[in-house]
Chain A
């Protein structure tokens, strides 16, 4: 079996885009007494296994992240190494 490499992609909402889920969580935390927490933003992460011998792994991961995993109108993405 070919060795695979693991890549993690984080997708977050851009600044200025309202995140109602994050706001709800932040309100719940403040209700629980965590008054020092001022803001919560939610996001997604994806664990991707890619054939370690593939060429241009970084290029492929960047491509799928911008084409499908995130929507550039509202989201940013970041790729984390092995």
Chain B
């Protein structure tokens, strides 16, 4: 598979993502600068984490109008695969490619820690190889990660099976205490109705190298490559 990783001004997880895809997953990986206007025939596009444009205005709001976004929106509308992590998720929500949006954490703090996730949609392209019997542990690092969507949008997420992950405790139970940022229904990741655009706040690329003693995130990349 040929994977493209976009770098926006202020992205800071792009190199980690390229390392995991290229060195650990052994995929052809193409770095793409946000000013480029084509995706160089990549099959799968990743929008990595970071602080594009310094999070000015709202996180992701300005990157959403970067030149490369035209090709990305076209790619998504043609059924092409696309995944946004953290700031990438925020950008995809701002672009309207994913429903809802991400607001400041309810405790007004930047949170950087390991959290547990329960896989909700077990059939999606990014979760099919994940062991869903137990909670997976993946770090979060964000100030604006509180997922919000209105009631109407939320019921559509339910009926279309678009919720990918929920924050949970070590026992794989979704509880109010395991919600780190006040996200509605503990939602940590969603996909679009067409199931070809994915977004999540936790960082699977930070949990994919055995040297870091946690490879729970690697199963997501293995799912993509099946």
Interface footprint category on A: 10 to 19
Query: Residues of B contacting A20 with CB < 8 Å?
Result: 104-108, 182
Q: Does A54 contact B (CB under 8 A)?
A: no
CB of B57 within 8 A of CB of A68, answer yes
Q: Given A17-B148, A73-B150, verify A68-B65 contact (CB < 8 Å).
A: yes
Write the nearest CB–CB distance from B64 to chain A, whole angstroms. 9
B residues neighboring A (CB under 8 Å): 57-58, 61-62, 65, 93-94, 100-101, 103-108, 146, 148-150, 182
CB of A73 within 8 A of CB of B108, answer no
Query: Residues of A contacting B103 with CB < 8 Å?
Result: 17-18, 74
Q: Given A17-B148, A20-B108, verify A69-B57 contact (CB < 8 Å).
A: yes
- 10 pairs from A and B in contact (CB 8 Å cutoff): A17-B103, A18-B146, A20-B106, A20-B182, A68-B65, A71-B61, A71-B94, A73-B93, A73-B149, A74-B101
Write the nearest CB–CB distance from B99 to chain A, whole angstroms. 8
**Most A-side CB within 10 Å, residue of B58, B93, B108, B150:** B58
Query: Residues of B contacting A69 with CB < 8 Å?
Result: 57
Query: Residues of A contacting B94 with CB < 8 Å?
Result: 71
Query: Residues of A contacting B100 with CB < 8 Å?
Result: 73
CB of A73 within 8 A of CB of B104, answer no
Q: Given A18-B182, A20-B106, A20-B108, verify A71-B65 contact (CB < 8 Å).
A: no
Write the nearest CB–CB distance from B7 to chain A, whole angstroms. 22
Name the 6 nearest CB pairs between A and B, nearest first: A73-B101, A20-B108, A20-B106, A74-B101, A71-B101, A71-B58
CB of A24 within 8 A of CB of B101, answer no
Bound CA–CA A33/B165 (angstroms): 43
If A20-B105, A71-B101 are given as contacts, then 7 extra A-B residue pairs at C-beta distance below 8 Å, sorted by A number, are A17-B148, A18-B103, A18-B146, A20-B182, A68-B57, A69-B57, A74-B103
Chain A 23-75 interface residues, beta-carbon cutoff 8 Å to B: 24, 68-69, 71, 73-74
CB of A21 within 8 A of CB of B108, answer yes
Contact string against B for A residues 7-27, beta-carbon threshold 8 Å, 1 for contact and 0 otherwise: 000000000011011001000
**Most A-side CB within 10 Å, residue of B108, B148, B149, B182:** B148
